[in-house]
A and B are shown apart, each in its own frame.
Chain A
Amino acid sequence: MSDLRTTPLFALHQELGARMVPFAGWSMPVQYPAGIIAEHRQCREKAALFDVSHMGQLEIAGEGAAGRMETLVPADIQALAAGRARYTMLTAADGGILDDLIVTRTPDGLFVVVNAGCRDEDTAIIRKAMEPDFGVRELGGRALLALQGPMAADILERLCPSANGLAFMQSAELDVAGHACRVSRLGYTGEDGYEISVAVEAAEPLARILLDMDEVGPAGLGARDSLRLEAGLCLYGHDIDISTTPIEAGLRWTIGKRRIADRDFPGHERIIAEIHNGPDRRLVGLRPEGRAPVREGTEIQDGDGRIVGRVTSGAFSPTLGAPVAMAHVESANAATGTRLQAILRGKPVAAEVVKLPFVPHNYHRQEKA
Chain B
Amino acid sequence: MALYFSKDHEWVSVEGDIATIGITNHAQEQLGDVVFVELPEVGRTVTRGEESAVVESVKAASEIYAAVGGEVSEVNEAIVETPEKVNEDAEGSAWFFRLRLADKGELDDLMSREQYDAFLATLD
Contact = CB atoms under 8 A, between A and B. Distances in A.
Interface of A: 30-31, 35-38, 40, 222, 225-226, 291-293, 295, 315-316, 318, 323, 345
B64 interface: no
B120 interface: no
A37 B32 CA distance: 9
* Majority-rule SS of A interface residues: mixed
Given A226-B58, A315-B59, A316-B58, A293 B35 contact: yes
Interface residues of B, number: 13
A292 B56 contact: yes
Contact of A345 (B32, B54, B58, B83): B54
B61 interface: yes
Nearest to A293: B56
B58 A36 contact: yes
Given A38-B33, A222-B59, A293-B36, 11 more contacts: A30-B59, A31-B32, A37-B33, A40-B58, A291-B36, A291-B83, A292-B38, A292-B54, A292-B56, A293-B35, A315-B58
12 contacts: A35-B32, A36-B33, A37-B58, A38-B33, A222-B58, A225-B59, A226-B58, A291-B83, A293-B61, A315-B58, A316-B58, A323-B36
A40 B59 CA distance: 12
B59 to A, nearest CB: 6
B58 to A, nearest CB: 5
Given A292-B38, A293-B61, A295-B61, A316 B56 contact: yes
A316 B35 contact: yes
Interface of B: 32-33, 35-36, 38, 54, 56-59, 61, 83, 87
Contacts of B59: 30, 36, 222, 225, 315
B33 A35 contact: yes
Most A Cβ at <10 Å: residue of B57, B59, B61, B83: B59
Contacts of B61: 293, 295
A318 B58 contact: yes
A36 B32 contact: yes
B54 A291 contact: no
Nearest to A36: B58
Contacts of A318: 58
